[in-house]
Structure 1
Amino acid sequence: MDWLRRPALFPGRVTPAGGGAEASLSVLSLARRAWTERQQDGHQALLWATQVLEALPGLALAGKQGVQLQGRMTLILAEVHLQHLRLDDAEQAAAQARALFAAVDDACGLADVCWLHHMLAADRGDTQALRQSLQEALRHAERAAEPERQLYFRIVMARSDMLQDAEQARQAWAGRLPESAEGLSSMCAAALADYLGVREGLLSHFAASANWFELGFEQALASGQLRRAMALASNLGFTFTAASDYARAIDWLQRGLALARKAGWPGSIGLCLAQTGEAMRRVGQVAAARELLQECLDTLDGHPVSRTILLALSYLGQVELDSDHAPQALALFETLVSRALQVGSTDLRLDGELGRARSLHRLHRLDDARGVAQAALGLAQQLQQQTMRVELLWLLTAIARSAGATSAVVLEGLSEAVTLAGAIEGYRAPPGLLEEAAEALAAAGRHEEAYAHARRAALVRRDSLSDEAAKRAAALHLHQQIEAMSAEREHLRRLAEAESARAQALEDAHQVLTHLSRIGQEITAELVAERVFEALERHVHALLPVSCMAIYLLDETRTQLVCAFGVEEAQAFVDPPVPVDEVHSYCARCVRERRGFVLGIDERPHEESQVPGTSEMHSVMFSPLMISERVVGVMTVQTPKVAAYGHREELIFASLCAYAAIALDNARAYLRLSELQRHVMAQEKLAALGAMVAGVAHELNTPIGNSLLVASALLSDARDFETQVQRGALRRSDWQLHAERTREGLEVIERCMDTAAALVRSFKQVAVDRSAEQRRPYELLELCQQCQQSLGLMLRRAGVHLQLSVPQGLMLQGYPGALSQVLVILINNAVTHAFEGREQGRLLLESQLVGLDQVHLSLSDDGVGMSEAVLRRVFEPFFTTKFGQGGSGLGLSICLNIVETLLGGRIRVSSEPGQGSRFVLELPLVAP
């Protein structure tokens, strides 16, 4: 089927909704292979398409895209059925595909279904459906905004119009189609070449027609349009036949037949066999023609109403008549008439009736022959087939003569045939008809008219001979043109090969540069020297022949080179330091001269440079690692192969060394920066510790001071009470007063100590003890529900409603206790600060899965919000807006520490005054 090679199989990205992403991608790959190979290997494409259709229910591809995929696979089934002339099965599968595409309004798919119906109509000989389906295909292509499909369908429509009425088609399509295939896809180029070849052939421009057909044949093969390639080979055969170049005609017909046999499509095989057989009959190869036509009938034996088999019956009947096998010819023509009536093919039925009449005449069944010929004459008159009427009138006259009719009757019949032939524009009466008419006129004594007819017959024969000679001359000229075109094509082919080789070299260079660019990005992205060495060693083997590789870096004093990395035959080594002023060291020379060089081309390695116990290297490259004018070190690659490094390898090596120099300098700078950062962080930690201790001391001062004050008062009161006891002057009221003061003082001390103890516990939570937390899998919704239940009483007393919006079944791996602690702190913080001055409030705890490995858990409130100044310091230790009112300023700091250390995530907050606040926890599904 001549569909576009790259259809809109999946508009947009097909996202699997289930069944496993890996399995879905495998099925999609199989579907694309089935679509691409449907004409190259229809049997395999059919198997793949069936497998895809069977796998689709288990994959549950998303909506429209899944239906489109099912429609495309069904369309493959329809095309394979069509290739093997299972026309009813093809029509049924096409109807299923149409329903699928219509359900999702896939205009592109509907256009391709209509094209398949167009081909079905062609194989059935349904001329009305042929154009209707083509027009419908064009409408759908326009609706789908598919310009390539639109152009393709227009070209095919123009070709169809050209075969119906060439002059009208030329006027109708003038300027609407390209006149050159340049810039077109192979699909459209093949179709355009076919159309232009037909147009030039109808103008008898055989050389131009053959040239277009040959171009179309090449483009059809290039784009996998086997059916069109077979048709173009047949067109070339008839073009050369019209030019009387029968050798080339048969050659092209046989090429088309070879393609059809290789594809194994019975319809195409049968058509090629029929057309080749007719060409062989015309050149007098009757036996070969009979063999080919009989093979055509055997091939299409299961499809008796195919138009191809009707053509074969007509051609084979003519072969039998040429061989004087009238009975066999009669049987063939009778079968042709019967089947032509069955399918409504009037033109082939008329051919069959004429053949029947001639066969009956040869068998001397004159009455039967006369009846068949007269019925056929009426049909020809009805169909306005004037040339066929001439043939039938001539045959009726021959039948009458055989039946012993009078000269007057014979003369009347011949005169009527001659008169009709003269009235047909552009038609020349057969010389035999004119000669018979001249004889009849002479027998009737009408010698002047007889002479005129004889002279006319002679002129026709002469013109025929002249036409034949002209055709042969044209064939010779055409042959020369074709040879010249072939030579030109060969020249262009060689130029194309040279250009292709040059383009391939450029493509190779581009790929190397692209590869080097990717390597450079990878290497320069590393900030650790060891990883830079690993990346270089991995990539250098992919680009260069290397047995030994080493990197030497200048030390801090820049007086010697230190071997930072070395590997030979997959074995690591470390060379001793090399002084920069070492005379026999190539590395030192490379640093001193600030240039690279290749040993084995520029010069031979000297003996002093060979390390004892190592393999001799015949090809060696050295290059300095430089950043601007500053040398960082030296890199070398070596191999025992002779002349292994040329200009190309030198350029690649220089590029690798440039990337290596940048990466190693970055790594050294990063190491220094890391040391500086560690120093600054240590200083910051000490400063933070001092601030934290000062804050703790300040917070503990009040409860401890109050406790000391109350304890001093109690101690003084106890001493006074002891004095009164010693004096023995105690009254009952003194006992009661002492007990009351002692109880009140102890209560104050207890409260203060509780406050201090709580402050110390909160301070201890700042450093999370990982060893005290159990790591396990847990469900996020269940954990949130537990927090809601444990805080239920506090929330009800505060008039706060907590709503959960967490999906069920979301599993995490980590520390549920730590996450519970964070949520409790955040909820307590919201109750304490967000709803100040209000009797009620709302909290929303919700989660959302982000990507494949992260979840966002957020707590929102509709409270008073925070100012920008508060928002900037909200996670600082001991920062609180409730100093002296129960706030310690450690809650959110504890949350930050737990989330970023133990849970491996991030916490962020957003808020505006009067708009509430929102805390978001960005957590990995698997904690580190």
Structure 2
Amino acid sequence: MLSTLVGHCICLAADRVAEMDLFILNKDVNALENQLVLLNNADRLEALVHLAWHLRQRDCQQALLLANEADLYCEKAGRIDLRARLLLVRAEIRLLFADFVLAEQWVHEAAGIFNELGDHEGSGDALWLIASVSNDRGQVSQAIAYLDMALLEYRLAGDALRVQIVQARQLLFSVFRDPVAAGQALQRTFPANEKYSAPLVAMVAPAQALAAILTNAPSLAIKCFLDAYYAALESGQVRSALLSANNIADSFDQLGDQETALEWTERGLSLARKTAWPASIGTCLLVVAGIMRKLGRYDEARACLQEALLLMAEMAGSRNYLLLLSAIGLLELDVGNNEAGLSAFTQLESLANAVPDLLVIAWRGQADALLHLGEAEKAREKALEALALAQAHDNTDMQIQSLRILAQIYAGYDLPAPEGLAASAACLHYLHEALRVASTIGGYTIPSDLFTQIASAYAACSDFPAAYQYSLAAADARTKSYSEVAAKRALAMQINHEVERAHAETEHHRQVAKAFKETSATLETLGMVGREITASLNIREVFSALHRHVHLLLEASSFVVYLIDDQAAALTMAFGLELGEPLPAIVIPKDHPTSNIARCARERQAVLIHLAADNQDTTLIPGAVDTQSLLYAPLIVCERLLGVMSIQTSQANAYGERELSIFLALCAYGAIALDNASAYAAAEASQNRADQALSELRQTQGELIQREKLASLGSLVAGVAHELNTPIGNSLLVASTLKDESRLFFQQVQLGAVKRSDLERYCKSAEESSDLLMRCLIKAADLIARFKQLAVDQTSDLRRSFDLRTECEDVVLMLNSRLRGAGHQLRLDVPEGLLMDSYPGAFGQVLSNLIINAIVHGLDGKEQGLILIEGRLQGDTHIVLIVQDNGKGISAEHLERVFEPFFTTRFGQGGSGLGLHISYNIVYSVLKGSIGVRSPLGEGARFEMILPLSVG
């Protein structure tokens, strides 16, 4: 299975691979949710997958609903990369609910897809998740191996943040194996003075906290756990947040502040129960039970442990489950239930083979239980095993506990003496060894009960002076312990005070942010309202939009808009509604002495009026509804007064500074919209007139273009007529000669004077005449056929395959008479076999226009001019066709305008100025090519076309 996760298929990656962060902040999740609301159907797919992925710990139920919807689109879109991501979502949720089998199956299936796609990011995420599965199963070494492979995948993907997150998690694992080396590596990789993103802090801070605990820095540990807790919640790592909450509770417990510890356990347990994840709830219950046990509340502790045991039954072998068994064993020993304690520690031993520190706890616990059950020899064996393993792994705390239990065993029972010692000296030997080990621990306070135990051992040996000395040492240790407890309590109070102060500051910032967010939301809403209002160019629609949004944003039973008539010096009601009913139109003189509308217009300032409850002055309010609050504001654009807008309501004191600001903003938008609508209405008539003129102009242009096309076709007809004149004239001459010969021969036949020589002569003449006649008629027929094809092409715009040289020859043939008449020559340099799949009629019209343009303009006034038509391939897909003359060329001032419509240098002399414009449009729009012109001084004009062999 391991090879499946790390193997990579040697193939190209899929066209699209979904890339997404491992964790994102809550605000980014909110943005994703807002984005999803705006998307429909298949457009929702990627947003669905991203949101499901980032809700996998925040809201498992919602994540699964989104994943189910995304599945429908994935199959249609063929997005196997997104399907693999959804498998990871489902796998992690199954893991959170302790379904390891299904979680592992789906992770491996997703990993196979990511490997086939060559998606290193996805493969790394699969390895990250399978490491969690292995860890929860208690397979710590395998989990570490998977993290090593995930690190490699993330490096191949070039994802720096994922690389750092994995490194932090690796260091967190290593703290339990080698605390000193892990602390040093942690400082090198993640210096404490650096700032890190929330997703990374959630992983780095717990490792820093554990390192602080091991270096006896509890305040720093709590601070780091707090940072980890809030960073984990902010980045959607709810499971990590729960672990940090438990560690905070445990840290306060170690400082003797059980009250604060219980507050944090309540917080963690409440969050865990909301998730319904059995492992997380069980871990929180384990922490609660530990504090309850220290407080002597054994029944409550047992209830917590029994519930945790049921919840974590599927996690047998995980570290948390092993710690749960240890807690059960210790509780049973505390209440004197030694057999139950022995059973718990025996089960712990069977499951903790690969976890040295827990195996030491299991053997030490068994030794304690066996001692109280009177099985001293077995107890001694387990204590010695615990001592040996603790020494092998340099676990000083477990060494001290194992030595003390050995001392208890030898103090109460007559057992074989350890090697090199007398049995009577074994107890004191182990106690002094425990004292020696304790003295090697920096900053460790030797507990008073160890000195008391040594004093008792000396008293049992009748060495009362030594017993007295150690009794004094025990008293000193108790005094020192009380001082340390007091110091810890003071430290806990200080930390708790700092935490509460930080929480109060955070809450203050949250309230400020909330107020800012509400203000921002209002501004954003006003912006959207403004865009809607100013988007309309119809005055009635502007009024309706203003009325609708006024009622959405403000309290208003009456809404009125007056527009000013400068000529009449009055304000006329243009729109008015009260409780949804239209108000009668009113005209108010601008100099009205008591009208608030007139006053607002004159002063160009907002007017806000709050009437007393018993005020009956209804002249201030249109309609019959009692009004307590009135608000008026001018409609001004660029210092121009357009009118006044007013709202009124029966609610007392309804309008304050916020409402006034909103109303002024609406008035500003309304003024702009009304001004735009008026300008549009004024411009619409002018636009209609302009449109009519443009339509007439386009019609005239179309007629001229059609005439130009017919003129071009007329030129072809004239050319064909001239070309047909010779073969048909020769045919007539031959036919006439043959007719005369036949008549003479027939006369000779009638007279009976036909000789053999006459017959031979007639037959020979008839044969020659017929041969000549056939050649002339074939040539005429060929000319007619070519003209017919050319005419069809230029009038039908059909697409077909044609030979470029043949098409050029046909056009040149039809224009030969015009060339000869002007005394010019044309040379065609186009190779045979250049086949094109295009529009020959359009091509012929362009070539014809260019040749005629050269004759009329370029070679005007020149004798024996030359036109060169040159064609060649350009690459595999295009041809270049050049039409060049050796005439007078085109001046620089005219060169850029030759393709403009109606531009000609022979205006009034028969030139329409449309020939080259038509050619330009045909080349670009029909033939899908390009055309340009150059005219070097003294070298004539050179038109160059680049055309595709197939128009596609």
Paired residue for 2:361? 351
Paired residue for 1:198? 210
Task: Report whether the alignment pairs 1:787 with 2:798.
Answer: yes
In the alignment, the residues of structure 1 paired with residue 352 and residue 702 of structure 2 have an alpha-carbon distance, to the nearest angstrom, of: 105
Paired residue for 2:199? 187
Paired residue for 1:631? 641
Query: CA shift at 1:458, angstroms?
Result: 1.6
Query: CA shift at 1:79, angstroms?
Result: 1.4
In the alignment, the residues of structure 2 paired with residue 405 and residue 695 of structure 1 have an alpha-carbon distance, to the nearest angstrom, of: 124
Task: Report whether the alignment pairs 1:32 with 2:13.
Answer: no
Structure 2 contact 206–224 (Cα < 8 Å) conserved: yes
Residues 325 and 909 of structure 1: is their aligned pair in 2 closer, same or farther, counting only changes over 3 Å? closer
Query: CA shift at 1:789, angstroms?
Result: 6.2
Query: CA shift at 1:909, angstroms?
Result: 9.7
In the alignment, the residues of structure 2 paired with residue 381 and residue 694 of structure 1 have an alpha-carbon distance, to the nearest angstrom, of: 107
Task: Report whether the alignment pairs 1:60 with 2:72.
Answer: no
In the alignment, the residues of structure 2 paired with residue 787 and residue 839 of structure 1 have an alpha-carbon distance, to the nearest angstrom, of: 24
Query: CA shift at 1:58, angstroms?
Result: 1.5
Paired residue for 1:49? 67
Task: Report whether the alignment pairs 1:451 with 2:465.
Answer: yes
In the alignment, the residues of structure 2 paired with residue 692 and residue 222 of structure 1 have an alpha-carbon distance, to the nearest angstrom, of: 68
Task: Report whether the alignment pairs 1:98 with 2:127.
Answer: no
In the alignment, the residues of structure 2 paired with residue 200 and residue 509 of structure 1 have an alpha-carbon distance, to the nearest angstrom, of: 47
SS of residue matched to 2:313: coil
Among candidates 846, 852, 859, match of residue 830 of structure 1: 846
Residues 643 and 246 of structure 1: is their aligned pair in 2 closer, same or farther, counting only changes over 3 Å? closer
In the alignment, the residues of structure 2 paired with residue 534 and residue 550 of structure 1 have an alpha-carbon distance, to the nearest angstrom, of: 11
SS of residue matched to 1:911: strand
SS of residue matched to 1:311: helix
Residues 895 and 639 of structure 1: is their aligned pair in 2 closer, same or farther, counting only changes over 3 Å? farther
Paired residue for 2:734? none
Per mean C-alpha deviation after superposition, the further-off stretch among 784-793 and 294-303 is 784-793
Residues 589 and 883 of structure 1: is their aligned pair in 2 closer, same or farther, counting only changes over 3 Å? closer
In the alignment, the residues of structure 2 paired with residue 235 and residue 679 of structure 1 have an alpha-carbon distance, to the nearest angstrom, of: 81
In the alignment, the residues of structure 2 paired with residue 666 and residue 391 of structure 1 have an alpha-carbon distance, to the nearest angstrom, of: 88
Q: TM-score, normalised by structure 2?
A: 0.67
In the alignment, the residues of structure 2 paired with residue 249 and residue 691 of structure 1 have an alpha-carbon distance, to the nearest angstrom, of: 90
1:565-595, Cα deviation, whole Å (9 max, x unpaired) = 4455555567265554555655555444444
Paired residue for 2:7? none
In the alignment, the residues of structure 2 paired with residue 457 and residue 155 of structure 1 have an alpha-carbon distance, to the nearest angstrom, of: 46
Structure 1 contact 834–863 (Cα < 8 Å) conserved: no
Task: Report whether the alignment pairs 1:234 with 2:263.
Answer: no
Among candidates 264, 281, 304, match of residue 293 of structure 2: 281
Paired residue for 2:483? 470
Structure 1 contact 618–641 (Cα < 8 Å) conserved: yes
Paired residue for 2:135? 122
Residues 535 and 687 of structure 1: is their aligned pair in 2 closer, same or farther, counting only changes over 3 Å? same
SS of residue matched to 2:58: coil
Residues 841 and 645 of structure 1: is their aligned pair in 2 closer, same or farther, counting only changes over 3 Å? farther
Query: CA shift at 1:436, angstroms?
Result: 5.4
1:402-433, Cα deviation, whole Å (9 max, x unpaired) = 66458984224224424533442237593465
Structure 2 contact 411–427 (Cα < 8 Å) conserved: no
Paired residue for 1:492? 505
Structure 1 contact 46–77 (Cα < 8 Å) conserved: yes
In the alignment, the residues of structure 2 paired with residue 325 and residue 81 of structure 1 have an alpha-carbon distance, to the nearest angstrom, of: 37
1:776-805, Cα deviation, whole Å (9 max, x unpaired) = xxxxxxxx9993269999979848989569
Structure 1 contact 564–574 (Cα < 8 Å) conserved: no
SS of residue matched to 2:317: coil
Task: Report whether the alignment pairs 1:331 with 2:343.
Answer: yes
Structure 2 contact 452–471 (Cα < 8 Å) conserved: no
Residues 786 and 253 of structure 1: is their aligned pair in 2 closer, same or farther, counting only changes over 3 Å? same
In the alignment, the residues of structure 2 paired with residue 365 and residue 695 of structure 1 have an alpha-carbon distance, to the nearest angstrom, of: 118
In the alignment, the residues of structure 2 paired with residue 202 and residue 693 of structure 1 have an alpha-carbon distance, to the nearest angstrom, of: 96
In the alignment, the residues of structure 1 paired with residue 547 and residue 396 of structure 2 have an alpha-carbon distance, to the nearest angstrom, of: 86
In the alignment, the residues of structure 1 paired with residue 226 and residue 550 of structure 2 have an alpha-carbon distance, to the nearest angstrom, of: 49
Per mean C-alpha deviation after superposition, the further-off stretch among 834-843 and 475-484 is 834-843
Among candidates 60, 69, 86, match of residue 99 of structure 2: 86
In the alignment, the residues of structure 2 paired with residue 503 and residue 884 of structure 1 have an alpha-carbon distance, to the nearest angstrom, of: 76
In the alignment, the residues of structure 2 paired with residue 694 and residue 384 of structure 1 have an alpha-carbon distance, to the nearest angstrom, of: 104
Task: Report 1:647-662 matches (<5 A).
Answer: 647-662=657-672
SS of residue matched to 2:23: coil
Structure 1 contact 410–440 (Cα < 8 Å) conserved: no
Paired residue for 1:916? 945
Residues 578 and 883 of structure 1: is their aligned pair in 2 closer, same or farther, counting only changes over 3 Å? same
Structure 2 contact 801–835 (Cα < 8 Å) conserved: no
Paired residue for 2:332? 320
Structure 1 contact 835–841 (Cα < 8 Å) conserved: no
Among candidates 13, 19, 23, match of residue 4 of structure 1: 23
Structure 1 contact 834–861 (Cα < 8 Å) conserved: no
Structure 2 contact 634–641 (Cα < 8 Å) conserved: yes
In the alignment, the residues of structure 2 paired with residue 227 and residue 584 of structure 1 have an alpha-carbon distance, to the nearest angstrom, of: 70
1:481-515, Cα deviation, whole Å (9 max, x unpaired) = 25533653465356436634653464356335534
Structure 2 contact 898–916 (Cα < 8 Å) conserved: no
Structure 2 contact 801–836 (Cα < 8 Å) conserved: no
Q: TM-score, normalised by structure 1?
A: 0.68
Would you say how many aligned residue pairs link Structure 1 and Structure 2?
775
Residues 864 and 539 of structure 1: is their aligned pair in 2 closer, same or farther, counting only changes over 3 Å? farther
Structure 2 contact 357–395 (Cα < 8 Å) conserved: no
SS of residue matched to 1:916: strand
SS of residue matched to 1:273: helix
Structure 2 contact 798–841 (Cα < 8 Å) conserved: no
Structure 1 contact 880–887 (Cα < 8 Å) conserved: no
Per mean C-alpha deviation after superposition, the further-off stretch among 883-892 and 272-281 is 883-892
Task: Report whether the alignment pairs 1:213 with 2:229.
Answer: no
Counterpart AA for 2:24: R
Structure 1 contact 401–410 (Cα < 8 Å) conserved: no
**Matched residues, percent identical?**
27
Paired residue for 2:125? 112
1:444-465, Cα deviation, whole Å (9 max, x unpaired) = xxx4xx633x245324422442
Query: CA shift at 1:912, angstroms?
Result: 0.9
Counterpart AA for 2:567: T
Paired residue for 1:308? 320
Structure 1 contact 390–417 (Cα < 8 Å) conserved: no
Counterpart AA for 1:488: R
Structure 1 contact 802–842 (Cα < 8 Å) conserved: no
- Which consecutive residues of structure 1, in runs of 5 or more, have no partner in the other structure? 14-20, 704-783, 806-822, 845-858, 900-904, 920-928
Task: Report whether the alignment pairs 1:267 with 2:267.
Answer: no
- CA root-mean-square deviation: 5.5
Per mean C-alpha deviation after superposition, the further-off stretch among 823-832 and 254-263 is 823-832
Structure 1 contact 619–644 (Cα < 8 Å) conserved: yes
SS of residue matched to 2:636: strand
Query: CA shift at 1:284, angstroms?
Result: 3.4
SS of residue matched to 2:57: coil
Structure 1 contact 8–108 (Cα < 8 Å) conserved: no
